[in-house]
Amino acid sequence: MLKKITILLFSLFFTTTHVLAAGETSFPADWKNWTSVATPLSGIGALPGCDADVSTLPPIYQETVEIYCGVRPQGPGAVAILVKPSEMSSYKAKDGKMHDGPTMILHLKEMQILMVTGYKSGKALYSVFREDGTDITSADAASPLSANTCRTCHTGYEAFCTNGQCATTK
């Protein structure tokens, strides 16, 4: 009987942990020391509010606003793009060729959320963390906080993104 209870508790713990945190890359504990870079997105200073008319913006920005409005109804607010200092030359090449581990962050400052892009064997991976390192990546593929949502946007706009690295038009 004790064995069955132990297996049941272990199964519940594993399932609950997996559903609540589905991040694909690790938390960059040193993120506060990363380099802030200028991009069209960070250049605006903040993503437009959810009631803003974004119809004249490129589709990638329209979808970005829509996705983040799903996280916070008044819009995500101030943003910063952070790059791991040792990855700056790779980042500037804009070819999506990064070393393994976390490399880039979209910091939603007012929400205190880090949208992290990392790599493993050349493949882009995604996670969402609170600033304190709590993994809040959703296992629900339809959630705006899921790795799948990140991947869909980062691969759906080839004019702006290469292997997980989104920037200006190629």
* Residue 125: how many other CB atoms lie within 10 Å: 22
Rounded distance between C-alpha atoms, residue 60 and residue 109, angstroms? 20
The model carries a pTM of 0.79
Cβ 75 vs Cβ 115: under 8 Å: no
Chain Cα centroid distance, residue 55: 23
Question: CA torsion angle for 56, 60, 64, 66 (degrees, to 10)?
Answer: 60
Rounded distance between C-alpha atoms, residue 113 and residue 120, angstroms? 22
Amino acid 131: pLDDT? 97
CA angle 130, 134, 138 (to 5 degrees): 85
Q: How far is CA 167 from CA 9, 81, 135, in A?
A: 45, 10, 25
Question: CA torsion angle for 136, 32, 27, 43 (degrees, to 10)?
Answer: 60
From first to last of the 170 residues of the chain, give the pLDDT tens digit.
444 333 333 333 333 334 456 889 999 999 999 999 987 777 777 777 888 888 887 787 788 788 878 778 887 788 899 999 999 999 988 888 899 999 999 998 988 999 999 999 999 999 999 999 999 998 988 888 888 888 887 777 777 788 888 765 54
Amino acid 9: pLDDT? 34
Task: State both tokens at 13.
Answer: 């713990």
Rounded distance between C-alpha atoms, residue 107 and residue 109, angstroms? 5
Cβ 96 vs Cβ 135: under 8 Å: no
